[in-house]
Amino acid sequence: MDRVAVWIGDGVYERCVAGVVRAFEQIMAEMVRVCPWMTGDDLEDLRRVLAAHMAMVGGEDVDVVRRADGLLRLAQRADEVGDRRRAWVFHDWYQWACADVRGEEYHSPGFPEELAAML
């Protein structure tokens, strides 16, 4: 038996996938906790954005325009409800997604001190 068959046969792959799913759901749960204003539509946007991000990190091709659209909607919703910290984060992530669409590298300006002080 080759090494790949042994590796997969030991359940390592399945445990890895289960760990990624667990981490994903923990992120979703934390966002629900810190963003009680999120509606079902907002959570669906967030789920799609996070899934696309994780797929990109894994080397998969994703619809970067759809990812950017979801981030813009989340930034606008956060702004509408007065959640300035999340609005900034989603907008910054949106700017990164737009750079991806253009094939450019993105350099975040860094989280503003006045928002960091809002803890």
Q: 3-17, 29-43, 71-85 — which is least confidently predicted? A: 3-17
Q: Domain total for the chain? A: 2
Note whether 27 and 42 are same-domain residues. Answer: no
Do residues 30 and 42 share a domain?
no
108/93 same-domain check: yes
Share of the chain above pLDDT 70, in %: 91
Same-domain check for residues 44 and 102 = yes
Residue 112 in tokens: 């503003």
Domain identity same for 49 and 104:
yes
Q: How confident is the model at residue 40 (pLDDT cuts 50, 70, 90)?
A: very high
| One domain, residues 8 and 54 | no
Extract the tokens encoding 75.
């930034």
Domain limits at 68? 38-116
The pLDDT, as a whole number, for residue 17 is 79
The reply to whether 104 and 90 lie within a common domain is: yes
| pTM assigned to the model | 0.81
Q: How far apart are the first and last CA of the chain?
A: 55
Confidence of residue 119 (pLDDT cuts 50, 70, 90): low
The owner of tokens 């989603």 is 90
